[in-house]
Amino acid sequence: MKAIQLQAFGNPAEAVKLADIPDVGDPASNEVIAAVEASPINATDLLIMAGRYGYLPPLPAVMGVEGVARVIAVGSNVKHLKEGDRTLIPWLQPTWTERVKLSASWLRPLPKADIQQLSMLGINPATAYLLLTDIVKVPRGGWVIQNGANSSTARALIPIAKSLGIKTVNVVRRPEVVDEIKALGGDVVLVDGPDLAKRVAAETGKAPIPLAIDMVADTSTANLMNCLAPDGVLVFYSAMSGKPFVGPAQPMIFKNISLRGFWLGHWFKTATDDKLVPMYEHLAGMIASGAITAPVAATYSFDKFPEAIAKAAKFSGKIILTPN
């Protein structure tokens, strides 16, 4: 079968090729075989190909970290899926291939929804959900603040927060995207700057903010820290600026502000079915209703993968690969 395979870390244009690999064969008693329908090119994929991610697979390696597939064969002991069901492909199961063999007991049938949007369910919405629920107990009616509010994860976080009764302050870098983020449901949308804390206080009525979510780093970290209430937590899940974070020591000392990181890969190491199933059912329902959506720039078949990867590297909307 066909697969997009990484040969060496570095420039994807030189290191990735369309290869013939062995078929997945028949399912064991606890496995299913599924035909991949759609898989996005994620920022994670680009970082892995460049050799700059926290997880690097042994080479050669089939690429792709998330997607959806249609079940075509079911093992004798599988009760949670049947032939014809559409399901997620689990975290870090290679997806840029025609067929996959899955054994995760937490997988469930997905609802009827836009296949492109479902293909992006696995990572960004899950990260957004866990940032809101797994770090700090934010009460209903409480506030969180996030930067990079135009990113895919941040766009998912806004409606997820609303579903949990949480209000959002959304920080962007360009004034022209303010109205767009407000239209998504952002309660407060502001352009980043050194006076951010003063403007946030004015917009929220000086409400305490216990959680700040940082995907930018650089000086934006300091601006978020200054918005936090005493005992607040700032969590990093990315650093898209490519620069170290900059922050004052005083809030950490006198306001007891804490800094920590979050990576979905670590969470998955200990996540149990009773955590995974309700989370993804909640998020899949929000995609089906249209509450969670991400802009899609284009779709490409496997034979057009060089063009697809080049376009994805420009971060101008999601690129979706459709192998079958």
- Among this protein's residues, is 237 annotated catalytic? no
- Residue 112 makes CB contacts below 8 A (sequence gap 6+) with 288
CB 141 within 8 A of CB 204: no
DSSP string, 21-73: -----S--TT-EEEEEEEEE--HHHHHHHHT-SS--PPSSEE--S--EEEEEE
Residue pair 145/169 in contact (Cβ under 8 Å)? The answer is yes
The residue with tokens 């290679």 is 94
Residues 6+ apart with CB under 8 A from 143: 166, 167, 168, 169, 204, 207, 208, 209, 210
CA distance linking residue 302 with residue 36, whole number of Å: 12
Angle CA 168–174–177, to nearest 5: 60
Rounded to whole angstroms, the Cα distance separating 230 from 255 reads: 4
- Give catalytic residues, as residue numbers: 53
